[in-house]
């Protein structure tokens, strides 16, 4: 579904992605973690070409992103993206946010698009918010609307870039629950997150990145119980210690 082969990317001098080789199979849920600044956002943003790559090859849903002739807008319509800061359209209502792309890009009739949007809103538990504006919603609600907005295009792939990092702790659960339900539907998911509980329960595979390099790639139980790399062990220690202190 997604294949990175020898992918490199630079921001000027900064080597943000260094020889990335990664294959995501259809229906797989892949969690990407690693310290801040390690290139996780850049990695996930190359998948829908929000960031173009400089070297190597990246094939997404059969489309070679280094091929200038592909219709990038068509690919992006097949790939949902959920941002850390939600990025809902503030001038549109919840239903307007969800139906805009289906109506304007897929030419779905308005009524049909709204029916479909209501199904999605019900799924994320926000049916009663259809006419609210983003500024009237909590962070957790906004993020759930953002997920519904992404799903409205019936994507084959959903990308999440730290979807719960901007949320108050009490709202993280509701968003993770929606993502967990989504994972069961068989959609391909790439999730950048530090929510290790989610990774353990939902992920098929965990990728650990540091300094633009994939250091480790393992099944969740292996990654958490037998991290191979010193950097991973360090990362997990740092992540788990304050969290356990907070939870207990």
Ligand X SMILES: Nc1ncnc2c1ncn2[C@@H]1O[C@H](COP(=O)(O)OP(=O)(O)O)[C@@H](O)[C@H]1O
Site residues, ligand X (CB under 6 A): 11, 14, 16, 34, 36-42
Query: What length is written for the chain?
Result: 248
Of 136, 138, 234, 238, the one binding another protein by CB under 8 A = 136
Measured in whole angstroms, how far is the alpha carbon of residue 238 from the centre of its chain?
23
Closest CB to another protein among residues 36, 135: 135
C-alpha 162/C-alpha 191 separation (Å) is 7
CB 29 within 8 A of CB 35: no
Q: Could you tell me how many residues of this chain bind Mg ion (CB under 5 A)?
A: 1
**Dihedral of CA 7/9/13/16: which sign?**
negative
**Dihedral of CA 169/241/245/37: which sign?**
negative
Site string for another protein, 147-186 (x = CB under 8 A): --xx--x---------------------------------
By a kind-dependent CB cut-off of 5 to 8 A, residue 244 interacts, out of ligand X, another protein, Mg ion, none, with: none
The tokens of 148 are what?
């519904």
What are the residues binding Mg ion (CB under 5 A)?
A: 41
What are the residues binding another protein (CB under 8 A)?
A: 48, 50, 73-74, 76-79, 81, 83, 85, 87-93, 100-101, 104-105, 132-136, 149-150, 153
């Amino acid at each position: 579904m997604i294949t990175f082969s020898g992918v490199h990317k630079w921001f000027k001098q900064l080597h943000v992605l260094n020889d990335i080789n990664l294959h995501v199979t259809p229906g797989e849920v892949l969690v990407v973690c690693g310290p801040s600044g390690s290139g996780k956002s850049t990695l996930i943003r190359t998948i829908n070409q929000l960031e173009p790559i400089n070297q190597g090859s990246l094939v997404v849903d059969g489309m070679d992103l280094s091929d200038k002739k592909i219709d990038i807008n068509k690919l992006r319509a097949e790939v949902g993206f959920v941002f850390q800061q939600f990025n809902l359209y503030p001038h549109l209502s919840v239903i307007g946010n969800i139906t805009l792309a289906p109506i304007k890009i897929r030419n779905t009739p308005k009524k049909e698009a709204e029916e479909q949007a209501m199904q999605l809103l019900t799924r994320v538990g926000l049916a009663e918010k259809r006419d609210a504006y983003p500024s009237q919603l909590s962070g957790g609600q906004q993020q759930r609307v953002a997920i519904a907005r992404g799903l409205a295009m019936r994507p084959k792939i959903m990308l999440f870039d730290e979807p719960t990092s901007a949320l108050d702790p009490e709202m993280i659960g509701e968003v993770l629950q929606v993502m967990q339900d989504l994972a069961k539907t068989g959609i391909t998911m790439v999730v950048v997150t530090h929510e290790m509980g989610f990774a353990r329960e939902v992920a098929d595979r965990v990728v650990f990145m540091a300094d633009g390099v994939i250091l480790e790639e393992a099944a969740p139980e292996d990654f958490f119980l037998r991290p191979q790399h010193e950097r991973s062990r360090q990362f997990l220690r740092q992540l788990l210690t304050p969290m356990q202190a907070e939870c207990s």
